[in-house]
Each structure stands twice: as structure tokens, then as C-alpha cells.
């Protein structure tokens, strides 16, 4: 699946995102609103990972969604 589909249906995917990255709050997910770069930034902050690692995790999520 591509990210445009996830972004377009963000409200439907927030549950899956929350189960993948439980440290992200509902408010953060609302602000992210499906924007991949903002999700990567929030993952970096919450989990203390590099940008590359955050992108890798997002890619894995995208492939499994």
C-alpha cells in the first residue's frame, strides 16, 4: 500500500499506528494527520531513534498496512 492511501484514510489507520507506536498520543496523531515526515519526527522524539530508523519503521508499517 502506498502512503497516499494511508494519509487519505488517516482516521481509519490511527488505531494501527497507535498499536505500532504506543507512545504516541491521540493528540499527536491528530496533529500528524497522516503526514509521513511529521510521523517520523514524532517517532524519533518518542523512541529516541534516528531519522533513518524511523523511516524504516514507517516503511515496514506501510508494507504491512
pLDDT tens-place string over residues 5-64: 999 999 999 999 999 999 999 999 999 999 999 999 999 999 999 999 999 999 999 999
Structure confidence at residue 2 (pLDDT): 87
Torsion of CA 38, 24, 58, 51, to 10 degrees: 60
Number of alpha carbons in the 13 Å side-chain half-sphere of residue 20: 19
Q: What is the pTM of this model?
A: 0.90
Write down the pLDDT at residue 65. Answer: 83
DSSP count for the chain of H helices, then E strands: 5, 0
Domains in the chain (CATH in brackets) are 3-64 (1.10.1470.10)
3-state SS record for 36-60: HHHHHHHHHHHHCCCHHHHHHHHHH
CA angle 29, 47, 14 (to 5 degrees): 20
Amino acid at each position: 500500500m502506498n502512503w497516499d492511501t494511508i494519509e487519505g484514510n488517516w482516521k481509519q489507520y490511527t488505531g494501527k499506528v497507535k498499536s505500532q507506536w504506543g507512545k504516541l498520543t491521540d493528540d499527536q496523531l491528530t496533529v500528524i494527520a497522516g503526514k509521513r515526515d511529521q510521523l517520523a519526527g514524532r517517532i524519533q522524539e518518542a523512541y529516541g531513534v534516528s531519522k533513518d530508523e524511523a523511516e524504516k519503521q514507517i516503511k515496514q508499517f506501510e508494507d504491512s498496512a
